[in-house]
Amino acid sequence: MAYVESILQKCTSFPRIRQLHAHLLVTGLFHLPYSRSKLIDFCATTSLTYAAAIFRSLPAPFTNDWNALIRGHAQSHHPINAAACYLLMSRAPCRPDALTCSFFLKACARALARIESLQIHAQLVKSGFDADVLLQTTLLDAYAKCGDLDGARKGNQPYEALKLFGEMMESSMMPNEVTVLGALAACAQLGAIGEGERVIDYIRSNRFDENVIVCNAVIDMYAKCGMVEKALIAFNGMRCRRSIITWNTMIMAIAMDGNGEKAMELFGHMCRDGTTPDDVTFLAALCACNHAGMVDEGVHLFESMEKHNVRRNMKHYGSVVDLLGRAGKLNKAFEITESMPMPPDAVLWQTLLGASKTHGDVEMAERASRKLVEMGSSACGDFVLLSNVYATHERWGDVGRVRDAMKQKDVKKVPGFSYTEMNGAIFQFYNGDKSHPRWRDMYKKIEEITFRIREFGYEAETNYVLHDIGDEEKENALCYHSEKLALAFGLISTKEGSPININKNLRICGDCHVVMKLVSKLYDRVIIVRDRTRFHRFKEGSCSCKDFW
């Protein structure tokens, strides 16, 4: 209903809103769910009292009507009122969806409502919405702002979760659907495919795979462990009807694996199947275009959201800005940032800063950095990215200036680490780590790898070491990155020909990417690396990302 949206944009005063309300009532458009929820949503930001009055006039509100009102309360001066609204909705015929939970969590964060945050967390687990990474981030934010740092760390104690699940399996208590959801989430976070498949065996033997929420969690676990083929098998073999979350999880899984064409094909299949795409679907499809470098397709998808009656949010703008930035279209990305209907957030400016670093655009990097400073951001990554841009151009004086600013603000750099699963155990490594009992064997293996790949023309890409030191020191620093240590451990600990799975908390560096490609060919191994943004599947000297990440 682009017609209604276009009129709403012209409603610059309260009398105009009332005129539109009357017009929708007279023409009968008010009875269309989209028109009605759009009006309530718009009114909620202008006059929450009037929006509530419209809502109360509805004999049977739909989910979108509730969402509009809850969102309005969440953004108001009394965000805690969203809790009462959510409670009423939970007793109504229509059920809360992921968007409802997101708005309520934002209200909890603003109201510092710790108890309500705990309650909605329980609802997320019961409903299966905890597989939604965006909701997990919002939940983490709510806990942190409520001062419950222990609660925030707990969506992050996967080791303990799996240990408890194992103890429960050995006791007389039998895990139920909620228990296996928690166990699968822990496996997904750790990339623990072995443990995950043991949980799946239990699910199948107890027929929990007839529950769509459990099926969604299985797909999510396989996807986050880099097993997209197995995720697809689980998706295609479902014994229950797929939900919107099922489609979104599968599209995002394929997107993270870098197969943009396949993800867009599934997006089309979903629409033909009769499932209406929502804002999360479009975000997943945009991510697919982003990771595959499908610029034209991504921009077209972004522009088509209005036709599908899906409102663009900050994450959609961030994704298309990232897409354009990765492709080197920094000016176009900046234009979109400037034209947004809402103020850009820090993440969006960080995205532009990251793209500026990738393409060595000092002017754009400085522009984005100034915006972040104005917003009061003191994230370590912001300083590091700007420092990296200067270092690439050997502007060591500017690098020093940025580092001085980091010291003054007491900004600490996040250490890079990687981990891998071996025989049900998780092993973690830091850059230059010598804490593992087999570290000498691992270092010896790295020396062997370096010797072999040099025969194929490998030269250490020392420009990734952003310090004003000699080339030999830079090369030594590159050799012992955490992902290389995890790779070496995998090579000495597994049988020949078996795949190696590595998880990394930061983005994989260009030098490690080159090394992984060569090792996959020379040692005949499939190496799957999940970094902060996506999966890299190295096989026979190539990567699934096609060197675009």
**Rounded to 10 degrees, what is the CA torsion of 478, 480, 483, 488?**
130
pLDDT reported for residue 470: 45
State percent of the chain over pLDDT 70.
87
Taking residues 407-421, report their average pLDDT: 77
pLDDT > 90? residue 250: yes
Claim to verify: residue 500 and residue 529 sit in the same structural domain: yes
pLDDT digits (tens, 9 = 90+) for 37-85: 777 877 777 778 888 888 888 888 888 888 888 988 888 888 888 888 8
Sort strands 500-504 and 527-530 into parallel, antiparallel or unpaired: parallel
Whether residues 101 and 218 share a domain: the answer is no
Asked if residue 196 and residue 80 are part of one domain, the reply reads no
Same structural domain, 91 and 188: no
pLDDT at 261: 93
- 226 with 114, same domain: the answer is no
The total number of structural domains that make up the chain:
3
Q: Considering only CA atoms, which of 198, 246, 204 is closest in space to residue 223?
A: 246
Give pLDDT, residue 7: 61
**Predicted confidence band at 418 (pLDDT cuts at 50, 70, 90)?**
very high
Q: Is 31 exposed, middle or buried (0-12, 13-18, 19+ CB in 10 A)?
A: exposed
Of residues 95 and 528, more confidently modeled: 528
What is the 3-class SS of 47-86, one letter each residue?
Answer: CHHHHHHHHHCCCCCCHHHHHHHHHHHHCCCCCCHHHHHH
One domain for residues 440 and 517 = yes
Residues 139 and 163 in one domain: no
Helix (H, G, I), strand (E, B) or coil at 233: helix
Tokens of 239: 């014994």
Q: Are 264 and 285 in contact (CB under 8 A)?
A: yes
246 CB contacts (<8 Å, ≥6 apart)? 212, 215, 216, 219, 235, 238
Q: What is the pLDDT of residues 288-297, one digit of tens each?
A: 999 888 999 9
Is 21 part of a structural domain of the chain? Answer: no
Segment 203-230 mean pLDDT = 92
Average pLDDT, the chain: 83
Half-sphere exposure of 350 (CA within 13 A, CB side): 14
What pLDDT is stored for residue 466 in this prediction?
Answer: 46
Question: Residue 154 corresponds to which tokens in the numbers above?
Answer: 């707990």
Tell me, yes or no, whether 319 lies in a domain. no
Do the domain assignments include residue 336? Answer: no
Task: Name 536's bridge partners.
Answer: 529
**Per-residue pLDDT tens digits for 334-390:** 999 988 888 887 778 888 988 888 888 889 988 888 888 776 666 677 777 788 788
Q: What's residue 429's pLDDT?
A: 92
Read out DSSP for 83-124?
HHHHHHHHTSSS---HHHHHHHHHHHHHHT-HHHHHHHHHHH
Q: Is residue 227 in some structural domain?
A: yes
Q: Which of 90, 125, 155 is the C-terminal boundary of a domain?
A: 155
Question: Do 531 and 425 fall into the same domain?
Answer: yes
- Give the number of C-alpha atoms closer than 13 A to the C-alpha of residue 366, restricted to the C-beta side: 6
Question: Considering the domain boundaries, does residue 398 fall inside one?
Answer: no
What integer pLDDT is reported at residue 257 of this predicted model?
86
Contact 482, 510 (CB under 8 A): no
- Beta-bridged to residue 529, according to DSSP, are 502, 536
Same domain membership, residue 480 and residue 424: yes
Report the pLDDT averaged over residues 162-185.
85
**pLDDT for the residue 411:** 66
Altogether, the residues listed in the chain come to a count of: 549
Do 124 and 108 meet the contact criterion of CB atoms below 8 Å apart?
Answer: no
Domain that residue 492 falls in? 417-543
Are 167 and 74 found together in one domain?
no
Which pLDDT tens digit goes with each residue over 15-25? Answer: 777 777 777 77
Token pair of 526, please? Answer: 């499939």
User: Residue 273 falls within a domain, yes or no?
Assistant: no
Question: 297 and 283 in contact (C-beta within 8 Å)?
Answer: no
Last residue of a domain, one of 155, 173, 201: 155
What's the confidence (pLDDT) of residue 472? 46
Domain termination residue (choose one: 212, 240, 268)? 240
| Overall pTM > 0.85 | no
- Tell me if 312 is assigned to some domain: no
φ, ψ dihedrals at 287, nearest 5°: -60, -35
Shared domain check, 185 and 145: no
* Residue 142 and residue 194 in one domain: no
Contact 108, 146 (CB under 8 A): yes
For residue 486, the model assigns a pLDDT of 95
Mapped onto helix, strand or coil, the DSSP state of residue 542 is: strand
Whether 23 is covered by a domain: the verdict is no
- Give the closest residue to 544 by CA, choosing from 196, 261, 337, 130: 261
As a whole number, mean pLDDT of residues 210-224 equals 92
